Structure 1
Amino acid sequence: MSDLLHTALHAAKAGSDTPPAVPYSRPASPGTGGYPVQIGFVGLGAMGWVMAKNLANHRAAHVHASPPILVWNRTSAKADSLFEELGQHKVRVAQTLEQVVTECDVIFTALANDETVKSIYQQFVQTLKHTPPARNKIFVETSTIYPTLAGELDVLVSSVPHCHLIASPVFGTPSVAAAAQLVIVMSGDYRSKQQVAYMLVPGVGKKVIDLGGNIEKANTFKLIGNSMILGTLEILAESYTLAEKSGIAANQVHDLVKDIFPAPGITRYSERMSTNNFDGATGFSIDGGIKDASHIRRLTAVHNSPMPSIDIAHQHLITARAIHTGHVEAGRDAVEVLDWSGIVAGTRVAAGLDAFESKNVHGVVPED
């Protein structure tokens, strides 16, 4: 009821011309058959951990008799820390993937790369073919993967009776996720999208964008969106490098960014570049950035739609990772995980500057 009231109030405030946060009618009942829906969450990285936390908190507060969500991560410490923070009434820790896939009605996955996603789903299906489900089971794949992999997963999952897959990548950094302001994209089975959308909004995200029944479309859309973000990162990196070379202070450039590009993600990456803060532990790893850039470039080749800025950004990401790897191997002080805002290292070294230790942080560079 509180979800319904929230949605109604939000719509009333927004006005009739504003699209609804969820583009589907509300399901007739919150579950599938009148029993409490058991949710599972696989993958507790920087984004998955926050999404699972918000989902658990929201359901405990707003869904009557909702059981604790069942979480699993390759390294158990992440799952244990979530359990310690939220407690047994909101979270249970699964011992195996088999436990998640057999016990849960809706299973979210948030994983690092295509290879991991494919491996996890193969394990899901192998388990379910030995113990076929007796009722509907929905898989919600939120990772950024190449579109054709979503199609492969759909064929794999639908080979098991009563099982459905929706592609549901999200836009936003971990800090945006913490504020439950993610933009969620969905494609695939309509009824599954309808049910899952109301699980995620407003507890995990602020809106859902529906891309229709072709399951590959959501991941295509995600790559298009990430091309905009990556292209902006490249422009920021080049601009900060030019500012340093021409004697303009980084903090002044950052103030300008906040004035003319006041989007949270852009200003956050700008702040990282302006202060040499490239710790990816709470951001987006450069490995993930290179993976996404590679997917975007592959997509542009398939559709004969060149994106030169992404080609350049891809090279600068690789340059930054190579320098960071060299620092780690040499025992130099370096962050454990390099954020993809570290792309600026590629433009800096091309201009003859230090990769990660700009001297242009606190003031204007003195003129000769």
Structure 2
Amino acid sequence: MDRPPHAHLLHVQHQHSDLNPFSRPTTPGHHDLQIGFCGLGAMGSPMVTNLANWRKQHTQAPLPIMVWNRSKSKADDLARDLGDELITVADSLEQIATECDIIFTNLANDDVVRSVYHKFAKALQADKPTKNKIFVETSTTYPTLAAELDTLLSGVPSTHFIAAPVFGAPAAAAAAQLIIIMSGDYRSKKEVAYILHPAVGRKVMDLGGNVEKAPTFKLIGNAMILGSLELLAEVFTLSEKAGIGAPLVHQLIKDLMPAPPLVAYGEKMLHDQFDGSKGFAIDGGLKDSAHIRKLATEMDSPMPALDVAHQHMLTARALHASQARVGNAHFDVLDWSSLVAGTRVAAGLDGFDSSKHSNKVIPEKDE
């Protein structure tokens, strides 16, 4: 068959680009990969939904993705919404471990991750795999946990572990716009990169063979985001106190440095939109900031802005708990952008209701 001029160059560019640093893996054999996914929270649910829909459109007769969640009702709801041809619900973590070829996990915290992987390892020790198996941890965890999990699974034949945390809020996950950071076994990363990109994320970054590097980079990135939230909170609060008003500062951000996180989180602070069920819950933010501060301490690398952000999140959570006790809380769960409440209260303003700020801006009339 005749090919158009430079077709081979087009093929190479498709296989290996700035968005995916890996060349496409060799075509698998007759048997389709059985994918498993554990954890259907604010991030996991949109990730597996996008993955299932992508495979339906781009893979010939794909096997349904096998899902597991601690509360089984979420898994059952997902299977009902997407259909049995795309999703099947596992009876247990042991079934995921033994029956799936590639297993993704996106879980709440380090303790949950550790517990789940110990169950995986125990199941595989009892029923040793006879073909290649890859475990992919996409949560935000402390870097040493990745090394612990890698060691845990290294004693199981044909089993590999890679760390692949993702950057992006739930809205980015829903839009398949995550940035995926990978470290670990090279062949496994190559295989997984083409499963996740572009189905789940817009870009893959390779941090090398040391599994601790990807989670370390994730903490550094989250430190940058959290530090930006703290700066937003401080300038918004100052503008309210000075009678300028946070809306003008938000407009300046959009005109001068319109980074999506600054604009989006600025919008939440501006309109007191602190619903953590639709964003990144503050407990997750505190977990991440604790990890960042621990890493900074171990590296002798002071991060005072993160210390302040951590304290302001604690203040916001304490204020919310006080409201919840008397039935005045507006949200069941706070978003981490609510750290602005800590800044506001320190400056003598209402924490969660900016309409109560006394120095509201009154536009001057032309004479």
The TM-score with structure 2 as length reference comes to 0.92
Give per-residue Cα distances to partners, 1:316-361, cap 9 Å, x unaligned.
1111111111111221132111000001011011001111011279
| Residue 87 (structure 1) aligns with | 83
Counterpart-to-counterpart distance in 2, 1:281 and 1:71: 21
Decide which of 328, 340, 351 is 1:344's aligned counterpart. 340
Determine whether 1:164 maps to 2:152.
Answer: no
Superposition map of 1:254-273 within 5 A: 254-273=250-269
Distance in 1 between residues matched to 2:52 and 2:262, nearest whole Å: 29
- Identity, in percent, stands at 57
Q: Partners in 1 of 2:13 and 2:355 — Cα distance?
A: 49
Paired residue total: 354
Match of 2:46 in 1: 50
1:115, distance to aligned residue in structure 2 (A)? 0.5
Distance 1:198 1:221 in 2: 21
Matched, 1:152 2:141: no
The question of 1:225 aligning with 2:205 is answered: no
Cα 1:274–1:11, aligned 2, differ >3 Å: closer, same or farther? Answer: farther
Match of 1:293 in 2: 289
Q: 1:279 to 1:285 in 2, by over 3 A?
A: same
Other-structure match for 2:115: 119
Correspondence for 2:19 = 21
Cα distance per residue 1:60-81 (max 9 Å; x no partner) = 1101221010111111222122
Q: Which position in structure 2 is the counterpart of 1:305?
A: 301
Whole-Å Cα distance in 1 between the matches of residues 268 and 275 of structure 2? 9
Structure 1 CA distance for aligned equivalents of residues 72 and 361 of structure 2: 48
> What residue is the counterpart of 1:75 in the other structure?
71
Give the letter aligned to residue 256 of structure 1. Answer: L
Q: How far 1:249 moved relative to its partner?
A: 2.5
* 1:9–1:334 CA distance, 2 compared to 1 (3 A): farther
Unaligned runs of 5+ in 2: 1-6
Pair 1:216 & 2:208 matched: no
Residue 3 of structure 2 corresponds to which residue in structure 1?
Answer: none
Q: How far apart, in 2, do the equivalents of 1:133 and 1:207 lie?
A: 31
CA distance in 2, matches of 1:366, 1:242: 16
Per the alignment, do residues 110 and 328 of structure 1 end up closer, same or farther by CA in structure 2, a change over 3 Å counting?
same
Residue type at the aligned position of 2:141: I
Contact 1:70 1:91 in 2 (8 A): yes
Q: Which moved more, 1:281-290 or 1:260-269?
A: 260-269
Equivalent position SS for 2:43: helix
Q: Give 3-state SS (helix, strand or coil) of 2:354's partner.
A: coil
Deviation of residue 267 (structure 1)? 1.1
In structure 2, which of residues 275, 280, 283 is the aligned counterpart of residue 279 of structure 1? Answer: 275
| 8 A contact 2:350–2:356 mirrored in 1 | no
| 1:250 and 2:267 aligned | no
Q: Is 1:202 equivalent to 2:198 in the alignment?
A: yes
CA contact (8 A) 1:172 1:265 kept: no
Partner of 2:328: 332
Label 1:81 to 1:258 Cα distance change in 2 as closer, same or farther (>3 A). Answer: farther
Deviates more, 1:251-260 or 1:104-113: 251-260
Q: Which amino acid aligns with 1:347?
A: T
Decide whether the 8 Å contact of 1:171 with 1:222 is kept in 2: yes
CA contact (8 A) 1:27 1:194 kept: yes
Q: Distance in 1 between matches of 2:129 and 2:293?
A: 39
Q: Flag structure 1 segments of 5+ consecutive residues without an equivalent.
A: 13-17
* 8 Å contact from structure 1 (residues 166, 187) kept in 2: yes
Aligned to 2:125: 129
CA distance 1:341–1:26, shift in 2 (3 Å): same
CA positional deviation for 1:364: 4.3
2:361 corresponds in structure 1 to 365
Q: Which amino acid is the alignment partner of residue 195 of structure 1? A: E
Question: Contact 2:237/2:246 (CA < 8 Å) preserved in 1?
Answer: no
After the TM superposition, which of the residue ranges 74-83 and 345-354 deviates more from structure 2?
A: 74-83
| Separation in 2, partners of 1:101, 1:300 | 35
Q: 1:93 Cα deviation (Å)?
A: 1.2
Moved more, 122-131 or 256-265: 256-265
User: Contact 2:132–2:159 (CA<8 Å) still a contact in 1?
Assistant: yes
Contact 1:254 1:271 in 2 (8 A): yes
CA distance in 2, matches of 1:364, 1:256: 18
**Which residue in the other structure is 1:190 paired with?**
186
Amino acid at match of 1:214: N
Q: Which amino acid aligns with 2:326?
A: A
Deviations 1:222-273 (Å, cap 9, x if unpaired)? 0010010000000000111111111123322222222223222221111000
Partner of 1:318: 314
Contact 1:173 1:265 in 2 (8 A): no
